[in-house]
Structure 1
Amino acid sequence: MTLGSFDNAPLAAEPALPERQSQASQIWKRFRRHRLGVIGLCITVFFYAITLFVEVLAPQGADAYSTRHAYYPPQRVRLFLDDGSFQPHVLSYKVVFNYETGQRKFEPDPKNVVELGFWVKGDSYKWLGLIKGDRHLFGARNPRQKVFFVGADRLGRDVLSRTIYAARVSMTIGLLGVAISLVLGILIGGVSGYAGGTVDQLIQRFIEFLQSLPSIPLWIGIAAAIPSDTPPLQTYFFITVVLSVLGWTGLARVVRGRFLALKAEDFIKAARLDGCGTFRILLRHMLPNFYSHTIAVITLAIPGMILAETALSFLGIGLKPPVVSWGVLLQEVQNVRSMATAPWLFLPGAVVVVAVLALNFLGDGLRDAADPHAQ
């Protein structure tokens, strides 16, 4: 082979370097393999989508009542009329009173048909308090007729509609509470871990003091301190703030531990020698190193906020009517009669279980996806 033949020989193609992926894309790729996490994400997105359109999705208004429909049983949706034509409908109930036992019995009345439809007229509302409307996604075609897909409470209010309205309060109180807790936890925990010494000791003793306070007696005292004529919006804001003030301590401990480990790194020392201030080092150099972990902590903290609000409202020391939340709705099942005669009043409790499980699945999936060493 001559020398010229080497010059004309094609060069071997260099192996292509793997495409670099951002941290967010790597986390998303790992998260998609977590089946329960994906299911939790879908359910969580569904719940928060409901909070935006509760007025349209609810068949009736949250405060609409009809005393003659007290403890009305759920109405089964039927697709075909007696003549075989397709028409979604439900049958109203006729009340049969048993004079010997003193009990009412509801029996379907084939002569009283309530036709159903999409985008029907119903109770008027203001969507998000801004836009007036009276259209509902699904309900009775005749606005003067009422339909109860999962039954009614003691005042004849639709349980399904009130549960949908309650989602806005119960789900958003978790977001607002965690947002405030996040700011307090990162700032106070970050200063504690970065400063160390006496500052760290004082902050940690204060955190231990807050964690040692008995929660139920504290809440009873706070509930007694709120005037009975306080507007519902102010009560909602007050409950959110108190939940946040008492809920930031766990996140602060986690942030402190991460900052104690990071402050000895070389890039932090270089930033300090470069003249960066404390808060710039905390926010621009240390905090981005565990964004993913913070997101997982937030996702796992929201269920705690939701359960706290539900428990406190159920005990009567949280939100109170006319505010509609899942805990307030569960007050309807505090007596034996309701539990025996109207088991459908437990619907808000079932919804709480589903929402909390979905958020926990989502948090577990994000936590595993954020850890590159997780299997």
Structure 2
Amino acid sequence: MGKAQGRNTFRTIVALTAAAVIPLGTAHAAEKVKVGLMLPYTGTYAALGNAITNGFKQYVAEQGGTLGGREVQYFVVDDESDPSKATENASKLVKRDDVDVLVGTVHSGVALAMAKVARDTKTLMIIPNAGADELTGPLCAPNVFRSSFTNWQPAYGMGKVAAERGHKNIVTLTWKYAAGEQAVNGFKEAFEKAGGKVAKELYLPFPNVEFQPYLTEIANLKHDAVFVFFAGGGAAKFVKDYDAAGLKKSIPLYGSGFLTDGTLEAMGGAGEGLLTTLHYADGLTNAKDKAFRSAYEAQYKMPPDVYAVQGYDAAQMLRAGLDAAKGPELDQAAMIKAMEAAKIDSPRGAFTLSKAHNPVQDIYLREAAGNQNKFVSVAERALEDPARGCRMK
């Protein structure tokens, strides 16, 4: 499979390799792989985009600056979490910069437009965050992979946890966009399957952070608990507002783990004790995570979060493909086959990929303590997204 206009392989760029990898002074040529990083570097999701980039580059650095024997060349675009600019931005990376792989993004709406460009041009794409169910559902494609999650997965895990904790009637709140709506659907599916009832679904426009009217309504409804989907700066403000309104003490708050991942410090203690579910947690005991965390903190002077893990694993997935692309040209069909079969040794715990190219992974229950989301238990083991509507062509 190749790019547009009948190309069957990726474009191969040949350059002299760095002296450090030239054996015994002999001349040696190393091919490059051109990676287009299309992520948010400004706005409410800026910290997420930076963490993904850090994680990706950390893995590449651990491999000596190469993946599959190829030097990595980066082309970077700030997508600003703006779906209206997504097609143009992705097209520039593919057509102007001729990247071999698109890596992005955070915002589901941007990712959907980005994936269309990838499908239309037959460009390999790895999604290091955006959880839009469609990407590995009805819009799945052989050249589109995900190193993160679907919105359904962590929310489904929390629906099960909420039911196990004895809640019967819950109100949900999120932004009115794909990620929020699908997270609510995942939570609702598990919670109602276990006998609970989502009594009311509340939505506000993205990225609106004027939460007070919704907090007043939640207080008046007096349901057992609240489930939310927020991330980034909006998540920090919501939890602070929820606490300031006195609701935290009277109505338990639950969320997909993005509520507290990378945001606890900004919450200033308001997030203490919150329970969330996600495919990563602080305090995991696997050797890969310990090594990853140590290296990340040494390099970036901050602890890693789930976004850094997803970026790191996107690079691991790309390497699995590049290892199979022997010879001077990048054989995309061979890369796809290798990526589909890969077992990724992730800091989150090893995972494989479903037929829809989505991680089959453990979902953890975590409790916020200080600036950490500490591991409590495994909420769902090896949870596979149902990938409803996926028909690989």
- Please identify which structure carries the higher helix content: 1
| TM-score (structure 1 length as normaliser) | 0.28
Q: Of the two, which has the highest radius of gyration? A: 1
More contact order relative to length (CA 8 Å, sep ≥ 6): 1
> Of Structure 1 and Structure 2, which has the larger fraction of its residues in strand?
2
